[in-house]
Amino acid sequence: MYEFVRASKVCCDNNRVQVRLQTQQLELRHHLILNAELTSWVPCSRLAPEFPYPAAVDDAFETVLWAMKEGETVLNLDLSKAAIGGASAGANLAAAVTQRVSSREDVLCQVRFKIQLLVVPVVDNTSTVETSPSYREFEHTPALSAKKMLWYRSLYLPNVERRSESEASPLLFENFDKLPPAVILVGELDVVRHEGEEYGRKLREAGVMAKVEVMRGMPHPFLALDGVLDEGKRAVKIICDSLREATA
């Protein structure tokens, strides 16, 4: 089974953006079903600003608890072959849920993720232009500028003091050695590139397999552009191949 956490934690008043995000998720699920031969689903989490952090983390975690209780009976899920992943804000939730699962022995006895697939992950909600090399270098990159990223953050995490909690910023988690292997895809021209690379480094330093792929010449939304970009197509193939190998 594969839980793909959707790439949005914040309400958006642009209907075209929301439709494209939903279409991307449906297309990726189609690829996963056909190529990785897995049952997949996208949990619908509550969105900020009406429901700020940690509502979305709690909702995503609840889907894992549901899978433990009902998945085998209702969907014929094989919990011994579980995986989790997401893109952008969804990758933040996937990482946070994975970390919460790793700290819960009552959950680990039934569900152990074989792999976490994190695409352009937002894993450090303390990053700024002053502290992050990629925020500084790609501050004005189209599609996701540093200014827009900070605006999203202000809606999802209005309480500044909570931004350094590990479930808000998974890069600040302390027990990386308890986490499953990871495949991390980052865009070369993306403001969140550095934190994705750092997440992979911390996993490897803890003795956990982590493969980081830099998608050359790509800004943040390359996965949504797999219909026109070769690197987008390559990203989908990496995800499907990684899932199939991890759950074989």
Residue 131: give its domain's CATH number: 3.40.50.1820
**43: confidence class by pLDDT, cuts 50, 70, 90:** confident
Q: How many domains is the chain partitioned into structurally? A: 1
Q: Containing domain of residue 128, as a range?
A: 2-246
Which residues have C-beta within 8 Å of that of residue 220, sequence separation ≥ 6? 88, 120, 141, 143, 144, 187, 190, 191, 192
Q: In the prediction, which pLDDT does 21 show?
A: 46
Strands 182-187 vs 113-119: parallel, antiparallel or unpaired = parallel
191-221 pLDDT, tens per residue? Answer: 999 999 999 999 999 999 999 999 999 999 9
Query: Which of 43-47, 176-180, 223-227: highest mean pLDDT?
Result: 176-180
The Cα 69–Cα 32 span in angstroms is 24
Q: Are 32 and 62 in contact (CB under 8 A)?
A: no
The Cα 7–Cα 216 span in angstroms is 21
Task: Flag the least confident range among 9-13, 117-121, 150-154.
Answer: 9-13
Tell me how far CA of residue 148 lies from CA of 5, 43, 139, 176, in angstroms.
21, 25, 10, 29
DSSP of 144-197, one letter per residue? S-HHHHHHHHHHH---GGGGGSTTT-GGG-S-GGGSPPEEEEEETT-TTHHHHH
Q: In the prediction, which pLDDT does 61 show?
A: 95
- The residue ranking higher by pLDDT, 135 or 240, is 135
Q: In the prediction, which pLDDT does 192 show?
A: 98
- Mean of the pLDDT values across residues 60-67? 92
Q: In the prediction, which pLDDT does 31 show?
A: 61
Q: In the prediction, which pLDDT does 227 show?
A: 83
**Model confidence pTM above 0.85:** yes
- Residue whose pair of structure tokens reads 């209702």 in the numeric block: 74
- Mean of the pLDDT values across residues 105-125? 93
Q: In the prediction, which pLDDT does 18 show?
A: 40
